[in-house]
Chain A
Amino acid sequence: MQKKRRLRSFNISLATTAVIIILWSTVTSLKLISPVLLPSPLRVGQTFINLCLVGYNGTLLYQHYLITLGRLLVAVVLAIVIGIPLGLLSGYVPTVKAVVDPIVQFIRPIPPLAYYTLLILWLGIGETSKVTLLFLAALPPIYLACFDAVVKINREYIRGASSLGADQRQIFFHVVFPAALPDVFTGVRSAVGVAYTTIVSAEMFAASAGIGWMIVDASHYLKSDVMFVGIIVLGVTGVVLDWMIKLVENRVVHWRGKF
């Protein structure tokens, strides 16, 4: 039953995609819009192959792609490694909350681009400032998800564990952490999302490679076909990344929604 419904919704999505591509081809083949603004699907396909084989600005598409993914990965891993313990501890130990919470709350609402120039000034134009920008974008969602998870934890889990002989430290590792895990995953997913949407900003300045840089650079020369390839690659990758995290999540947090 559920499989059937999922297949149905997959078919609908497929049909929607097809309709969009057909509309796109029609509009471009009838020359309703200038190809500089909207290149044809065929043209975008050719450019894609060309970028793969010849490259953009001397760098092959997959190299741009790996550079971008590498920056994202390093930033997200750092945000996970720092954000999870920070958020969990902040929810569990009031003193930690008092120290950390105002800092994160301050960073959270600022658009990353606003402090990017400062980061470049401080950290230089190399990789460090780019990764730091993505890291600062990814940290608050993870931190907040972990913090909230601890605050809303079932009090009886903690009380029960203490009556079974667990001390505060054991409760943190054996109860608070696993109980928070479903929300930790939610936090990681939104962190990846936020870092991902910051990618183009991070590669806007002082870069010479990366998908985000390629899109920005192509826009200067009105190479809309290259921009389209970049945007589609980013979009598809975003969907695949989220799907991969969900896959890991379903394996690790097998009890989610079942209790």
Chain B
Amino acid sequence: MSLLTIENVDFKYAGSCDPSLKNINLNLESNSLNVVIGPSGIGKTTLLNLIAGYDHPSTGQIKMAGKAIDQPDWQRGMVFQDMALFPWLTVADNILFGPKMRHLNDPEIQDRLARLLAQTGLTDYRDAAIYELSGGLKQRVALAREFINRPPILMLDESFSALDNATRSDMHDILLNLWETTQNCVIAITHDIDEALFLGQNIIVINQHPGTIVSVEANPYFKKDISDLSGEPAYGAFRRRLLGLIGKPKNR
């Protein structure tokens, strides 16, 4: 059985006349890195909101480990684009927020914190205020705050899109590193094809109005450096095909 199963899900926002998502079917496994890509306004964020439990499908069902999702909990973490870190807490206290809420304060958590601070290069910023950090450092705090909880599913909504190229590439490495140690199921939204090709074991393309999954691609170029690939014809063809799939949405 898959970790996450989405069956025949439709979703319409209250008060809007057209559904935002139609006939979504998807199975995702633990220890997988999945990227969702598609034109803007197609329903990518809406899909994550359903998986998180912030909203509920109009029809169909979403199950985690066989159980229907009815409300948000720590087992499905979410990193928002503007991170929503708590400015009244220090870096360390932001990261420890989840464990504190879950009443976990054993030495194991302190170990995790120290390890995560090291893995994300935040050790020197442990007691810094959030507003003192650059965008890239804040993004690291946002990742550490999720990973300390070890959620079986972790969602990222265009987390890296506001960062400059060098910082974004650092964040990719940090994310891959964290994911390899936790082996959870990551679902990352992006609108950047190269980010999708680097980060996605599976690339899930959403398109059409209303939004639906038009393709799930196993990505042979996962974690591969583009500069080594640019001359390879098969890579170019794959990339072009994806670009075609995420091109202008058509009405069904």
Chain A interface residues toward B at CB < 8 A: 154, 156-157, 159-167, 170, 174-175, 178-179, 181, 253-255, 258-259
Closest A-chain residue to B153, C-beta based? Answer: A163
Binds A, one of B11-19, B96-104, B203-211, B225-233: B96-104
Question: For residue B82, which residues in chain A have a CB less than 8 angstroms away from its CB?
Answer: 156
Taking Cβ atoms with an 8 Å cutoff, the residues of B that contact A are 52, 54, 71-74, 76-78, 80, 82, 84, 86-88, 97-98, 101-102, 129-131, 145-146, 149, 151
B148 to chain A minimum Cβ distance, whole angstroms, is 9
With contacts A157-B86, A178-B86, A259-B87 taken as known, whether A163 is within 8 angstroms of B76 at the C-beta atoms is: yes
Closest to A154 in B: B84
How far apart are B47's CB and chain A's nearest CB, in angstroms? Answer: 15
Evaluate contact between B72 and A159: CB separation under 8 angstroms: yes
A163 & B73 in contact (Cβ 8 Å cutoff): yes
Question: Would you mind naming 11 contact pairs between A and B with Cβ atoms under 8 Å apart?
Answer: A157-B84, A159-B80, A164-B74, A164-B146, A165-B101, A165-B149, A179-B86, A181-B88, A255-B129, A259-B130, A259-B131
The reply to whether A165 and B102 contact each other, CB–CB distance below 8 Å, is yes
Please name the residue on chain B nearest to A178 by beta carbon: B88
Tell me whether A255 and B87 are in contact (CB under 8 A).
yes
Report how far A177 CA is from B235 CA in the complex, Å: 52
Q: Which 7 A-B pairs have the closest CB atoms?
A: A165-B74, A164-B98, A156-B84, A255-B87, A162-B72, A258-B131, A166-B101
Set of chain B residues within 8 Å of A253, measured between Cβ atoms = 88
B88: nearest chain-A partner, CB-CB = A178
Residue of B nearest to A160 (CB): B84
CA distance A133 to B71 in the complex (A): 45
Q: Which of A156, A170, A181, A258 contacts B80 (CB 8 A)?
A: A156
Residue numbers in B under 8 Å from A165 (CB-CB): 73-74, 98, 101-102, 149
A175 CA / B89 CA spacing, docked (Å):
10
Cβ contact within 8 Å between A255 and B88:
yes
Q: Is the CB of B86 within 8 A of A162?
A: no
Contacts of B146 in A (CB 8 A): 164
| Nearest CB in chain A to that of B71: its residue | A162
Contacts of B72 on A, CB cut-off 8 Å?
159, 162-163
Give the distance in Å from the alpha carbon of A166 to the alpha carbon of B99 in the complex.
9
| A258 in contact with B87 given A162-B72, A165-B73 (CB within 8 Å) | yes
Question: Complex: how many Å from CA A157 to CA B72?
Answer: 13
Cβ–Cβ contact B101 & A174, under 8 A: yes
Q: Which residues of B contact A175 (CB under 8 A)?
A: 86
Residues on A with beta carbons closer than 8 Å to the beta carbon of B131: 255, 258-259
Given contacts A174-B101, A258-B87, are A164 and B52 in contact (CB under 8 A)? no
Q: Would you call A170 and B101 a contact (CB within 8 A)?
A: yes
